[in-house]
Chains A and B, each alone.
Chain A
Amino acid sequence: MLEIRDINKHYGTHQVLTDVSFSVGAGRMTGFVGANGAGKTTSMRIILGVLSPDSGSVLLDGVPLTAGDRRRFGYMPEERGLYPKMKVAEQLVYLARLHGMSTATAKRNAGDLLERLGLGERANDLVEALSLGNQQRAQIAAALVHDPEFLVLDEPFSGLDPIAVEVVLTVLKERAAAGAPVLFSSHQLDLVERLCDDLVIIAAGEIRANGSRERLREQFSTPRFEIHTDADAGWIRGVAGITVVDFDGGEAVFEADSDAASQQVLREALTRGAVHSFGHLRPSLSTIFKEVVR
């Protein structure tokens, strides 16, 4: 488990991170969400040791991370870029070797990865000769070429075409399934919602919410229900302890003062006709996000 504990960081008079603590469990996909300037990139840079925090520590299974450990990280910085005048494959081999791989393994990995990303034929082209989309794929390869055991990806999906997004998703899931902690940030909340097991929400340099996706949804859920019947649902307005939020024919969204009141609605609906669905409405990630950062 990767643990970020009480990290503080300031630039000049500006406090960028305040007592940031969260953890990334083994085999868990952890989404890191926050507005621009909230401190995501700074946190990730500190995890990777590219920046030093003013105070606090990054622990791996309870022990501070060493440079040796960090070599097993796959990192995709928010600021993308590779050497423009180097061949794609050569560049990947170079990066893999900087992470401590042997030349032979590095070459094999680079070849496999490029093939998988659909760049096999471009392996010997200069990076600057690639289209922007292909450069992004090469960038993904650069983060994965050394078989990292931990992934820290800053906005891995930004600028990717749908095919590349799928490839990255597959790789991330694979790594998580193999037990690797995966931390990634994204502005695409729907994607994060679909992907992640855990969530960390940061705003103005402070962690506002953090935990498993389900638990957060539970935590931020309101007593809001949705019902779908085949009869007109207008009668719900008259039930005691119920406030209808949205209403359209047989569908209605309402808030209940108590569990008893919501159950009363269900019972009555069944007497009036067929009930296709009835359920407690869980807030979407974007709702939680708006709620939390407010």
Chain B
Amino acid sequence: MSTETEARQGTDTTAAPRTTHPAPNFWASVWLVATREIISRLRSKAFLISTGILLLIAVGSVVAGGIMSANPSTTSVAVVGSAGAVVGESAGLTTVPADDVADAEALVRDGTVEAAVVPDDSLLGVSVIALDSPPSAVMNALSVSPAVELLEPAEQGGFLVYIVALGFGLVFFMSALTFGSTIAQSVVEEKQTRVVEILMSAIPVRALLAGKVVGNSIMALGQIVAIALLVGIGMAVTGQRVLLADLGPAIGWFAVFFAFGFVMIAALFAATASMVSRQEDVGSTTAPVTYLVMIPYFLVIFFNDNPLVMAIMSYVPFSAPVGMPVRIFLGSAEWWEPILALIILAVTTAGVIVLGSRIYRNSLLRMGGRVTIKQALRG
């Protein structure tokens, strides 16, 4: 950038001898455009507020998870006499000594304890008194279970998998949609206000498109990394280190996949948006891209326990940023699978960028009605 600057400064008046000017530095232009995108985003109150809310939700869910795991719910039971010895060995039960059976029943009736354990002559030596339904927590605590051997143990529990899958799906969906529609609006704003022609006369169209994609990708990735860091730190602080160890690699891969996936989605949003000239038309023209972003979100909600669907999702470029991290979390992906999926994603992204910049270039100066795909591709 600086060399061009120097070349420029000497050119104030005389036009006579032709000076050879260096070709404009492509990446300097890209960076200028990207910086403008970032600054205008950071100045938008709506953006700051929505980012704040998203980060709060992320922190909140981790803290809530921490509180729940730190205080496993304990059930208090009244014990009478020798029953105390039996109950004392069971985890998750707090004992409240009672003088006799009547006293224990009174404690059950007034709700101080969930159940009472009293000695009797049965085989077990104790029986349980409860108010209106069998107290499952107490029964489980007092039960003796045979040893279970799992031939193919699942690494994570079903509910946790659901939450993690939902988390990846939601973050991808929200970020891609937020920053995707931002880029779409920014493209149409330039077209609608006609400033685009000045921009096109100053820098290559590819630099303009690249700057928009880079700027918004930095913002989107920044948001993702902020969420990932907050979740990671939150888990470490609230003592959920075991979960963090399982989730960490998945989150890391998610960020990498997201970086590529978002660039692809951003290019699609920019290309489709460039086909219209008014903000009112952005929604309809970018709708197909919006669906592409939503599909993985719904698939992961409904099929996170279906290995076949998840395996396919983890390779299809549009859903890989959600599908592969979930499989990594589940431990069902071989070490080479994320790399292969990433290569597929990167190649697709490159193709989409080539196609997208063609549509973008051919549509920018066509004002008025909507440009058809055919026109946009043919030029």
Contact = CB atoms under 8 A, between A and B. Distances in A.
B13 A82 contact: no
A70 to B, nearest CB: 7
Contact of B8 (A81, A94, A99, A181): A99
Interface in B1-27: 1-2, 4-5, 7-9, 11-16, 18, 20-24
A105 B8 contact: yes
Interface stretch (A44-52, A205-213, A227-235, A247-255): A44-52
A89 B149 CA distance: 73
Interface in A139-154: 142-143, 146-147, 149-150
Contacts, number: 109
A272 interface: no
Contact of A68 (B22, B189, B193, B367): B22
Contact of B4 (A49, A84, A94, A100): A100
Interface in A204-246: none
Interface stretch (A72-80, A183-191, A261-269, A286-294): A72-80
A86 interface: yes
A63 B18 CA distance: 10
B204 interface: yes
Interface in A73-119: 73, 75, 77, 79-86, 94-95, 97-102, 105
Interface in A14-33: 26-27
Contact of A67 (B24, B198, B365): B24
Interface string B197-218: 1111111100000000000000
Contact of A82 (B9, B23, B193, B200): B193
Given A66-B21, A67-B24, A147-B11, A105 B199 contact: no
Interface range, A side: 35 or more
Contacts of A60: 18
A61 interface: yes
A95 B194 CA distance: 14
B24 A149 contact: no
B8 A69 contact: no
A283 interface: no
B29 interface: yes
Given A71-B21, A147-B11, A179-B14, A48 B201 contact: yes
A72 B14 contact: no
A99 B7 CA distance: 11
5 contacts: A50-B197, A83-B193, A94-B36, A98-B202, A143-B198
Interface of B: 1-2, 4-5, 7-9, 11-16, 18, 20-24, 29, 32-33, 36, 40, 189-190, 192-195, 197-204, 365, 367
The 10 closest A-B pairs by CB, nearest first: A81-B194, A68-B21, A81-B193, A102-B5, A100-B4, A79-B194, A77-B197, A178-B13, A98-B202, A48-B201
Interface of A: 26-27, 45, 48-51, 60-61, 63, 66-73, 75, 77, 79-86, 94-95, 97-102, 105, 142-143, 146-147, 149-150, 178-181
